[in-house]
Amino acid sequence: MNGDILKIVKHLEKEKGVDRENLFQAIESALLTASKKKLGEDAETEVHIDRKTGKISITCNKTKITLEDFGRVAAQTAKQVMIQKIREAEKDMVFQEFKPTEGALLSGMVSRFEHSNVILTVGKTEAILPYSERMPGEEFKRGAWIKVYVLEVKKVGRGPQLVVSRSNSEMIKRLFELEVPEIKEGVVEIKSVAREPGNRTKICVHSKMENVDSVGACVGVKGARIKNIIKELGKEKIDIIPWSEDYKLYISNALNPARILDIKIKKKEMSAVISVAEEQLSLAIGKGGQNARLAAKLTGWKIDIKVMEKAKELSLLGISKKIVDKLLEAGLGSIEDIAKADKKKLMAIKGIGKKTVEKILKKVKDARP
């Protein structure tokens, strides 16, 4: 029996990774339970196993006894309880191993499907990817390796179970931390993330060092870093937004790729009225309102987008009302109209000279992204 215990302990320690001391304590606990069933709960019973030899010492009311004294039934009970305790120790060991992974990014292999859930093999345990935590339209094949964000590690009957996600916004952060060393090192900080899984994400980043471009660091050389992230997400579009203390600039950046003409903010109400050219309205709002919706979620500001009157759009460039009126009469009512017009067409407008034309073109060029 002594030799058997040592073999069991060595095997489980090596193959299952269960802590040696935990195993000995589990076996001692099992033997103590069996002893009390045979000798009575009131008996002063102690059980100790020598860690080097595996020798079992049992004393009852300060008298030494052996397992053989228990009888066949009690010995069998001891064996069953021992197996149960060892299994519990193994499960607890695996749970303790994976509990710290909550909030982390892990790789798992697709092993099977249960109803609408995907079951993954992650190390010594299983992870469940619920249908609600998958990205829309995402399909998997058995044997495929995927990255997942760990929502929770739970204790269940069969052992620890990981509940994971691919649609959670935190997964975006973990992917960027994985691909961008500057983020992991704390040089570049992720300020916020707004995500519509499987479709589009806006992520706001900020560099703590003036000589490090936060957006450039996330994109990588020739876009290598961002490409790896998009590949993992099934080509989900990602907009990387530079953070700014200037509310207007921050909101304007968040609405990229739309060109913003003017922003009026109400700081106390955390609301902003955005003015855009008519041709920029659909781009600013986005398909189904997505661009404006994500920008609002990213910045935390309520955003209202309106079309600016053409005359006002041109006046924002510092063009006098007299010149604006002449441009409107010529059919050039917006920045885009002027940008598309050639110099000759502008020079042909009565009352606008060469120097004025050059100034107008320069202002239009500076105003366009």
Q: Are the C-beta atoms of 280 and 258 separated by less than 8 Å?
A: yes
More confident residue, 223 or 349: 223
* 239 inside domain: no
If one counts the domains in the chain, the total is 4
> Mean per-residue pLDDT for 310-323?
74
> What is the per-residue pLDDT for 75?
60
Which pLDDT does position 368 carry in this prediction?
65
Per-residue model confidence (pLDDT) at position 13: 74
User: How much is the pLDDT for 165?
Assistant: 97
Whether residue 301 is contained in a domain is answered as yes
Is the per-residue pLDDT at 67 higher than 70? no
CATH number at residue 362: 1.10.150.20
The span from the CA of 216 to the CA of 231, in Å, is 18
Q: Please indicate, yes or no, if residue 66 is contained in any of the structural domains.
A: yes
Residue recorded with tokens 């002063």: 44
pLDDT score for 72 = 64
**Structural domain ending residue among the three candidates 111, 142, 165:** 165
CATH code of the domain in which 48 resides: 3.30.1480.10
Does residue 215 lie in a domain region? no
Q: Are residues 79 and 11 in the same domain?
A: yes
Strand-pairing partners, residue 334, are none
| 248 and 304 together in one domain | yes
Domain boundary among 57, 72, 99: 99
The pLDDT assigned to 308 comes to 82
Can you give the C-alpha Rg of the chain in angstroms?
Answer: 34
Is the pLDDT reported for residue 166 higher than 90?
yes
Strand blocks (E) in 88-182: 105-114, 117-122, 125-129, 145-156, 159-165
266-273 mean pLDDT? 94
Instruction: Name the residue range of residue 340's domain.
Output: 316-367
Same domain as 117, residue 141:
yes
For residue 350, being part of any structural domain is answered with: yes
Mean per-residue pLDDT, 224-250:
94
Residue bearing the bigger pLDDT, 91 or 221: 221
pLDDT of residue 159: 64
- Give the residue-averaged pLDDT of 299-305: 96
The C-alpha atoms of residue 69 and residue 72 are separated, in whole angstroms, by 9
* Domain membership flag for residue 216: no
Give 4's pLDDT tier (boundaries 50, 70, 90): low
What integer pLDDT is reported at residue 225 of this predicted model? Answer: 96
* Same-domain status, 89 and 112: no
Which residues fall within 8 angstroms of residue 19, CB to CB, at 6 or more apart?
A: 13, 89, 93
Q: What's 117's domain CATH number?
A: 2.40.50.140
Alpha-carbon distance of 181 to 188, in angstroms, equals: 9
Query: First-to-last CA distance in the chain?
Result: 81
Q: Over 60: is that where the pLDDT of 314 sits? A: yes
121-130, 188-197, 293-302: least confidently modelled range:
121-130
Tens digit of pLDDT for each residue in 85-136? 667 776 777 777 778 889 999 999 999 999 889 999 998 788 999 999 999 9
The answer to whether position 31 is within a domain reads: yes
Residue 230 tokens read as 């998009």
Same domain, 334 and 261: no
One-character DSSP codes across 16-80: T---HHHHHHHHHHHHHHHHHHHH-TTS-EEEEE-TTT--EEEEETTEEE-GGGG-HHHHHHHHH
231, burial (CB in 10 Å: exposed 0-12, middle 13-18, buried 19+):
exposed
What average pLDDT does the structure give for the chain? 85
250 and 338 fall within a common domain = no
pLDDT at position 294: 97
Looking at the structure, do residues 93 and 30 belong to the same domain, yes or no? yes
Going by pLDDT thresholds of 50, 70 and 90, the confidence category of residue 80 is: confident
Kindly state whether residues 292 and 327 are assigned to the same domain.
no
Q: Are 321 and 344 in contact (CB under 8 A)?
A: no
Is residue 325 located within the same domain as residue 345? yes
Q: Domain check: are 79 and 14 in the same one?
A: yes
167 or 75: whose pLDDT is higher? 167
Q: Phi/psi of residue 62, each to 5°?
A: 70, 10
209: three-class secondary structure by DSSP = coil
Residue with the larger pLDDT of the pair 32 and 171: 171
| Cβ count within 10 A of residue 294 | 23
Q: 321-352 burial by CB neighbour count: b if 16+ within 10 A, else e? A: eebbebbeebebbbbbbbeebeeeebeebeeb
Secondary structure of 113-124 as H, E, C letters: EECCEEEEEECC
DSSP state of 100: G
Instruction: Give the pLDDT mean for 11-18.
Output: 69
Do 88 and 35 share a structural domain?
yes
pLDDT at position 74 over 60: no
Q: How far apart are CA 286 and CA 62, in angstroms?
A: 82
- Strands of 200-207's sheet in order across: 188-196, 200-207, 237-242
The better pLDDT of the pair 149, 363 is held by 149
* DSSP-derived secondary structure for 210-233: TTS-HHHHHH-GGGHHHHHHHHHT
Domain CATH number, residue 292? 3.30.300.20
- 363 contacts 319 by C-beta, under 8 angstroms: yes
Domain boundary among 139, 165, 191: 165
148 and 62 both lie in a single domain: no
**Does residue 340 fall inside a structural domain?**
yes
Question: Cα–Cα distances in Å, from 266 out to 4, 108, 171?
Answer: 76, 47, 33
Q: And the tokens for 147?
A: 């990255």
